[in-house]
Structure formats: structure tokens, C-alpha cells
Amino acid sequence: MGFFGSLIDLFGRIFISSLFIINGIGKIFNYESTVEFIESYNLPGIIIVPGIIIEILFPLLIIAGYKTRISAFILAIFTISLAFIFHFDFSDQMQTTAFLKNIAISGGLLFLITKEPGRFSLDK
């Protein structure tokens, strides 16, 4: 992979990770309402804590290019799980779109698993 390919790889890792980091930080600042949302699905609100950790830690590792494949795998499983838990109401167009976005993001993460690390990664 040349210089520009490695640069594109870095930007791709930043772009796919930014969604998770922003949402993880948002959950911290909107903790109570996020717990209420989770509990409305009959799940314990405390699962927000590992959710926040996953949404912040693994994307940062992906951006740094450290343990990228493992981090991408964990985020893909996390994202697919969220699609089936929170967005499985296909009678609601917004939920269908959210479900499909989660599946698409997971697809991008699966591509990271198959890639060699670029020049701008700690895995290199």
C-alpha cells in the first residue's frame, strides 16, 4: 500500500470511528435519558457502562491502528447486536433505516478485519 493508500486507510478508520466516539460521549452527557431508553426495552440500564466503553475505546484503537482487526470485530458484533435489539421494528421506516445503517457500518468494520494495516497504524 502506497502513501496515498495508507492516508485513505487512515481517513477511513477515522470516519468509521467518529460515529461511535461521538455517540459514546453523547451517552455520557445524556446518561439518564439513555438509561431510560435502554430500560424501555426491558434491559438493565447498567449495560450502558460497557456500551460507552466499547463505543469510545475500540474506535480510538481503530484510529490509532492498534489491534485494528480485533477492535473492528468487537465493534461489528456490537453494532449488529444493537441493530437487532433496538432497531428491529420494520413497520417503522426510521427503525428500518437505522437497522440497515447498523448493518452497513458492520460491513465496513468487517472490511477492516480483512485489510493489512496501512503505513499510518501502530499495527504496522
> Quick check: is 85 in a domain?
yes
Given a contact cutoff of 8 angstroms between Cβ atoms, the answer to whether 62 and 108 are in contact is: no
Q: How many CB atoms lie within 10 A of CB 109?
A: 27
> Quick check: is 68 in a domain?
yes
pLDDT value of residue 28: 98
Given a contact cutoff of 8 angstroms between Cβ atoms, the answer to whether 11 and 124 are in contact is: no
> Cell 457502562 maps to which residue?
49
In this structure, what DSSP letter does residue 92 have? S
Average pLDDT over residues 38-51: 97
pLDDT value of residue 111: 95
In this structure, what DSSP letter does residue 119 have? S
pLDDT per position as a tens digit, 82-99? 999 999 999 999 999 999
> Quick check: is 12 in a domain?
yes
> Quick check: is 18 in a domain?
yes
pTM: 0.92
Grid coordinates of 71: 477492535
| Tally of domains in the chain | 1
Percentage of residues in the chain having pLDDT higher than 70:
100
> Quick check: is 119 in a domain?
no
3-state helix, strand, coil in the chain (%, to 5): 80, 0, 20
Range of the domain at 33: 3-114
> Quick check: is 120 in a domain?
no
Determine the Cα angle at 118 with ends 65 and 63, to 5°: 25
Q: Is the pLDDT of residue 29 over 90?
A: yes
Q: Report the alpha-carbon distance of residue 23 to residue 12 in Å, rounded.
A: 18
> Quick check: is 122 in a domain?
no
> Quick check: is 40 in a domain?
yes
Q: How many CB atoms lie within 10 A of CB 35?
A: 18
Given a contact cutoff of 8 angstroms between Cβ atoms, the answer to whether 3 and 119 are in contact is: yes
